[in-house]
Amino acid sequence: SSRAPPRLSGRSPNSNMMQPMRRQGRASPLLCLSAAILAAALLPGAAVADGVTPSEARLLRDEVKDMFYHAFDGYMQHAFPLDELRPLSCQGEDSLGGYALTLIDSLDTLALLGDKERFAAGVEWVGKNVRFDINKTVSVFETNIRILGGLLSAHLIASDYATGMKIESYDDQLLHLSVDLAQRLLPAFDTPTGIPFGSVNLLYGVDDDESKITSTAGGGTLTLEFGVLSRLTNNTVFEQVAKNSVRGIWARRSKLNLVGAHINVFTGEWTQKDAGIGTSIDSFYEYVLKAYLLFGDEEYLYVFQEAYKAAMHYLHHDPWYIEVNMNSGATVWPLFNSLQAFWPGLQVWVLHISEHIPALQHIF
C-alpha cells in the first residue's frame, strides 16, 4: 500500500479499531494562535504577565528563538529537501508527500521572527521546486494544515508591505501552488456525507482501497485554509466543501451535542463514539471558533457555542477533561492526553469574544 506511515495518519483510524488511538505527535494546527502569542511576546512593550519582568520576558523570547533555530537549522542541514528530520539518527525522510514539508511549515515562523533573508530564500525555493503532480497518497488533514496552510500564510506575508516581509520578486507562485494542491485534494470530498476521506492520491484521486473511516478532526480542520483560498481566488468551491464537511459532522452530533472520534464518510455512522477534546477531535472545536473569528460566519459561531457548552458540561471534570460516550455521557477514558493541551488557548479566545456574545458567558 502507498499509505503514509501510521504515525502520520494519526487522525485516521488505525487498523485496530478496538484501541483508542493515541497520536504520537504531529504539527499543531494551532499555528495562527501560537503565532499570535509569539507575536505578543516579541512585540516591544507588549503586555507582560504578572511576575515576569520585561528583562525576563526578553530572555524567554530569545530562548524561544534559539529553540526554533536549533530545530530549523538542524532540519536544513541534515534533512532538507526531504520532509522531516529524524531526531535520533539525524537523517531526513519523506514522510508526507516528499515536498520539503518542514520548510513550508516553517515559513511563517521565519517571517514572524523577522528573518527576512531566510523567509525570502525559503519562499523562492518553494516557488521554484515544489510540485504536486506526484503519485503520492497523502493525509488530507496533514496536507491541509501544514502544506496548504504554510503556502497560504507565506503567500499573504510575502505579498503585503504591511508585514515588513514583502518580497519584491514574488509573483504569486505560492498561491498558484496552493490552488493546484487544493484541487488535488478535492476528490476526497466526493462522499455522501461531504466528510472527506482521510487520504487521497495527489495524481489519481482516492485509492480504490482507501478506508471510509475518518476522524472528526479530519473532517473539521479544513475551513480556515480552504476558506482563505476561496477568498483569494474568488472560487467558492473550496470554502463550500470545507463547510459541507463541518455540516456533515455536526448533523450527526448526539442528543447531548457531542461528536464522536471516528465516522464512516459513506454511511455517516460513528465507528468510535468516544467524545473528548483531545485525540481525533481536538481541532474540530478549534476550527469552528476560528472560522467564525476569521470569516464572521455566524453558522460557525452557532456550532461552536453548542459544541463548547456540551464539552464544558460533559467532558470537563475540573481541572481535567475526560472522554465520555457521546450518546450516554458515561465516562470511557478518565485520562489526560497531550493533545488536549491546546484547549486553554482556545478558551482565551472564548473569553475574549464572550463580552459580545451572551451565549458564551457564564460557561467557565
**Which residues in this chain contact ligand NAG in the complex, by CB under 6 A?**
2, 135, 233-234
Does an H or E element contain 301, and which?
A: helix 298-314
55 or 234: whose CB is closer to ligand NAG?
234
State the cell numbers at 2: 502507498
User: Minimum CB separation from ligand NAG for residue 135, in Å?
Assistant: 4
In a 13 Å sphere around the CA of 236, the CA atoms on its Cβ side amount to: 3
**Helix, strand, coil tally for the chain in percent (to 5):** 50, 10, 40
Min CB(1)–ligand NAG separation in Å: 8
| Calpha distance 213→219 (Å, rounded) | 11
Locus of grid cell 488557548: 345
Provide the minimum distance between the beta carbon of 160 and ligand NAG in the complex, in angstroms, as a whole number: 15
Helix, strand, or coil (residue 198): coil
Q: How is residue 5 annotated by DSSP?
A: P
Residues 291-327: b if buried by 16+ CB within 10 A, e if exposed: bbbbbebeebbebbbebbebbbebbeeeeebbbbbbe
Nearer to ligand NAG by Cβ, of 207 and 299: the residue is 207
d(CA 43, CA 25): 29
254 CB neighbour count, 10 Å cutoff: 18
Q: How far is the CB of 234 from ligand NAG (least distance, A)?
A: 4
Name the residue nearer to ligand NAG (CB basis): 209 or 318: 209
CB closer to ligand NAG, 2 vs 169: 2
Nearer Cβ to ligand NAG (183/233): 233
CB of 187 to ligand NAG, least distance (A): 15
Nearer Cβ to ligand NAG (199/280): 199
CB of 39 to ligand NAG, least distance (A): 28
